[in-house]
Amino acid sequence: MAMTITEKILAAHSRLKRVEPGELIEVDVDFCLANDITAPIAIERFRQAGAKKIYDAARVALVPDHFVPNKDIESAAQCQILREFAQEHKLPHFFEVGRMGIEHALLPEQGLVLPGDVVVGADSHTCTYGGLGAFATGVGSTDLAAVMITGRTWFRVPASIKFVYHGTLAPWVTGKDLILYTIGQVGVDGARYRSMEFTGQVISHLSMDQRLTMANMAIEAGAKNGIIAPDECTRAFVEGRAQRSYTFYESDDNAVYEQVINYDVSEIEPQVALPHSPANSQPVSSLDKISIDQVVIGSCTNGRLEDLRAAADILKNRRIAPGVRCLIIPATQTIYRQAMDEGLFTIFLEAEAAISTPTCGPCLGGHMGILAAGERAVATTNRNFVGRMGHPESEVYLASPAVAAASAVLGRIASPEEL
């Protein structure tokens, strides 16, 4: 019987010949992860269960990235819990400040999450790894503790929605714009507990950075996971960095989908999601002159090298508008070094932007860019809920790095074409 890529991966990991939507299954987990917010709870549950040993230390990553470098005593204590647990269990994949990065950019870069994997993480944006062709989804800290003990977890098999993108991308339209547009069309619950399968010739021509961006925001449509079938682009990315074997899966031609949605990308222009929902996406050209106070270019959604290059293309030989703060946050140490070696930092500094060590920081209102009452920010992050980046009366507008950089220059939400 025909299956989708998600169903095939779940069947293989549940040791079954086939699975169907709605079926409850227990699966083997290839890799699991947690951060400085979620891991302390998982560690507490691990110990409460009386566990003495992790099922496989090489299959667990702890990445303190949300409130680091430690912003206060409480966050320092959180990170200390991770550090001591990693030392106790001799975890090879504990990424402390200096070698850490934003978890969902770091783990693919390190070759730790791979095509065909089942990956769970105590963070909702674990769905990012679907860009590699993995089944990846967020779980609670208690579920993560169970995975660390047993190496297994359970799922209800999600039905799949197939999104087909065809046509030709307009200038400055990226994977971020495609996913913002898609969420705007289906809504924040339009793919609730579904697998969002991104397909079509447009997807096949996207870079790995942009594929990871699209999968990253599947959760913003309520999805269980987002996924893109691996191809030669995927192979080029994982070869030379993969730390173990991997498997390419693809959907059968006659696989059954709950829904098939087609988009002509030729009609899509750069998007901006207005407060206070990722589903409030609008073409940037439709917006009135909305002044801003801050721009954040970074996060697990858009802090990769390609994102920084796009921002640098806009900021080169330009200055940030007076009264606007522009924060550049490379997602990993490797990306930081690459951007520096390419001269991107010189461009950012001459534009009067600030460059940060890798951190989730402002994305969740943690630190490194908190908003005051009445302030507006354009961010390349993934959520813009009330109070997400600071004061409940602040506003966050989601956009691509190019739109964010253009907005920083003009001091208002703007398209790169306006420069």
Give the pLDDT band (50/70/90) at residue 294. Answer: very high
Whole-prediction pTM value? 0.96
Q: Which two tokens stand for residue 381?
A: 């992050």
Query: What backbone torsions phi and psi does residue 87 show, to the nearest 5 degrees?
Result: -70, -45
Please enumerate, as own/partner, the contacts of 49-56 that have beta carbons within 8 Å and a separation of 24 or more: 49/145, 49/146, 49/149, 51/145, 51/148, 51/149, 53/89, 54/89, 54/91, 54/148, 54/149, 55/147, 55/148, 55/149, 55/150, 55/151, 56/151
Distance, CA of 265 to CA of 173 (rounded, Å):
9
**What domains lie within the chain, and their CATH numbers?**
5-241+257-262 (3.30.499.10), 272-418 (3.30.499.10)
- Using one digit for the tens of pLDDT, what is the confidence trace for 302-356? 999 999 999 999 999 999 999 999 999 999 999 999 999 999 999 999 999 999 9
Q: Are 119 and 111 in contact (CB under 8 A)?
A: no
Share of the chain above pLDDT 70, in %: 100
- pLDDT value at 252 more than 90: yes
DSSP string, 178-189: HHHHHHHHH-TT
Q: Are 331 and 367 in contact (CB under 8 A)?
A: no
Q: How far apart are the first and last CA of the chain?
A: 54
Predicted confidence at residue 80, as pLDDT, reads: 97
When pLDDT is averaged across residues 364-377 and rounded to a whole number, the result is 95
When pLDDT is averaged across residues 228-255 and rounded to a whole number, the result is 97
Distance, CA of 108 to CA of 106 (rounded, Å):
6
Give the pLDDT band (50/70/90) at residue 36. Answer: very high
- pLDDT value at 174 more than 90: yes
Token pair 């409850």 in the structure block, residue: 24
Kind of pairing between the strands at 194-199 and 159-166 = parallel
Distance, CA of 172 to CA of 283 (rounded, Å):
12
Cα–Cα distance list, 352 to 108, 147, 325, 339, 362 (Å): 31, 45, 9, 16, 19
Share of the chain above pLDDT 90, in %: 99
When pLDDT is averaged across residues 242-267 and rounded to a whole number, the result is 97
Angle between helices 175-186 and 208-216 (to 10 degrees): 20
337, 286, 325: which is closest to 404 by C-alpha?
325
Distance, CA of 382 to CA of 162 (rounded, Å):
22
Predicted confidence at residue 27, as pLDDT, reads: 98
- Using one digit for the tens of pLDDT, what is the confidence trace for 103-151? 999 999 999 999 999 999 999 999 999 999 999 999 999 999 999 999 9
Give the pLDDT band (50/70/90) at residue 1. Answer: confident
Q: Are 35 and 122 in contact (CB under 8 A)?
A: yes
When pLDDT is averaged across residues 220-229 and rounded to a whole number, the result is 98
Amino acid found at 306? E
Predicted confidence at residue 90, as pLDDT, reads: 97
Distance, CA of 65 to CA of 59 (rounded, Å):
19
Distance, CA of 216 to CA of 108 (rounded, Å):
12
- pLDDT value at 227 more than 90: yes
- Beta bridge partner(s), residue 31: 119
Distance, CA of 123 to CA of 39 (rounded, Å):
10
